[in-house]
Amino acid sequence: MSTQTATSISANLTASATVTGERGRGTVLCLIVHDELELRLRLAGLVRRAMPKVDADTVTRAGFDAITVERLRAYVAVMLIVEFSPPDAAAASLGSLKRLHEQVPSLPVFVFARGGNERSAARAMKLGASDYWPIHSVIVGELCSALQPLVEPPASGAGATNAAVERWRQPEVAGYTMMKKIAQSSAASVYLARNSDFPQPVALKIEAITGEHVVSEADRERFKKECAILSKLNHRSIANVLDFGTTDDYLYLALEYFPCGSLRERLKHPVSEADAVNYAHQIGEALQIVHAARVVHRDLKPSNLMLTNENRLVLIDFGSARTQFLPSELAKGGDCTGTPYYVCPEQIEDQDPDARGDLYSLGVVLYEMLCGTLPFMGKSVPDILAGHRSAPVPRLPDNLAAYQSLIDRLLAKSPKDRYASAAEFLDALDALRAELVTLKISKPQRSN
């Protein structure tokens, strides 16, 4: 290494310490990498806010590439600020990420993206990133959650009640390192986690057995059923089960992680007609596999459809699923487990839906993808449910009217008026697509 390069690195590595003041005893260090000093220092300040025990050295990308592996081991994490616009701008930074992961695989690397999207996140995670944030929307609490396991061992000596609450907030499952909470419901949390047995991060779904959210025997049976169903459905359109089990405190289920997010996030932006039809076809294929195993999902909705970096949808969350051959008295629970916006009429009436109930939910999703709004809305849940029960199927805009026959069949109030199976729906969709292509080809071209 040249004297000039070493001097440059030294200057960069001390920049944040000069701005933020003298480091206190016990402070641990992370390393921030980017060519703009101002941006590096802004992120360093955010790190200090999130975790006061963590300070930051900062360095340019060229300086970072010259740092030895021994020097890198002094840091608890590396934070790469990556420019994803224009598209070729990220190549060098992602190359550095790949080399770092190969050289020091145990060192967490957090990517902060400028100009990135879901595909950028997927690229970064595949190359070894431990976490990913758009630089303009970093949440201090999330950053704190990512850093805390790196610098603070679990507290000991707390009272039983506080320990139970703390375990719920920061669960411990042998073999897994929690990196970030990515979803939360009243009964369960989903964490991005690492396990040395798997090459990529996993989505770890956890339900607390004791404490604030007590898991009943029925809940345990439902959990076992979800694991059994998912393990049986070995298909590219169904999430892979990597591991599941119980501890003294938790039920846990490890699934493949989808860094591109769900269809719900995708629907925050307009979906093209072509993408809507493609997604509907993929959902139909997933349901065909599920129904062939005599399973009814019963909670089909955009947040349960995850996107891969190949723009492929994968069906997840079978916590509400039922096998059709179970005696109905085992399934009766007096509750409607579907989501109000996507639930079928018979489910509202507390009847056990068959495969045609999932097709109704698919109709709601297809309408939402095409129109950008839901078919049945209301100011309250009863209003929404009333729409499913009795409101007429809404009309599509004129430019999408070709799909009205599909929507009418899928959203029919009576199951007998819907498609009899996912295979029948797929046949109808394929026939319609072929018809539309033929019409487009045969349509006379305008002369200039």
Of 280, 361, 285, 289, which is closest to residue 320 (Cα–Cα)?
361
Only one residue has tokens 């939360």, namely: 184
CB 14 within 8 Å of CB 57: yes
Of 170, 219, 175, which is closest to residue 191 (Cα–Cα)?
170
3-state secondary structure of 263: helix
List of residues 6+ apart from 155 with CB closer than 8 A: 166
Cis peptide before 394 (omega within 30 of 0): no
Give CA separation, 171 vs 168, 189, 201, 251, 324, in Å: 6, 9, 17, 11, 34
Give the angle subtended at the CA of 120 by the CAs of 117 and 122, to the nearest 5°. 115
Whether 299 sits among the annotated catalytic residues: the reply is yes
- Element holding 134 (H helix, E strand): strand 131-134
Catalytic residue among 131, 299, 317, 354: 299
DSSP letters spanning 32-81 = EE-S-HHHHHHHHHHHHHH-TTEEEEEE-HHHHHHS-HHHHTT-SEEEEE
Supply the residues annotated as catalytic. Answer: 299
